[in-house]
Structure 1
């Protein structure tokens, strides 16, 4: 699949999150905030556009929306759970 511009921007944001989270990780978790607009772009790509998982960076093992919908929970290949919040 050739991702469109919206998905490419989401991947760009995810790559930044993946580069940053090791600096704030503790006990297998990390919390990273994106602007509300950037959070929405990533949420669209993950949950609303039917983007196949293989389009996202290989460092992502799994992802889901939190039960209350306030965070995206991304599991990195190293097992760290990254909480992506809109902030």
Structure 2
């Protein structure tokens, strides 16, 4: 068993077809429904969830004046390219 601290149990409702798939996977893998669900949530967080967090952080940075103007960045890149071509 993992050494990670576990939360209090949570209750949620799932569409019955989704729960059926979770139960089928748990049975095939000889694991619990919780195990399957935790893996699914981890997968989501590693992909789409991570992207949502990164976009929120980027928006917060822009609001705090930490962003760069795209036109300025393009001008700088073009100057670098022209310098490299010379």
- The answer to whether the superposition gives a TM-score over 0.5 is no
Which structure is larger by alpha-carbon Rg, 1 or 2? 2
The structure with the greater share of residues assigned to helix is 2
TM range (shorter): under 0.3
Please report the TM-score for the alignment, with normalisation by the length of structure 2: 0.24
Please report the TM-score for the alignment, with normalisation by the length of structure 1: 0.24
**Relative contact order, higher structure (CA 8 A, sep 6+):** 1
The structure with the greater share of residues assigned to strand is 1
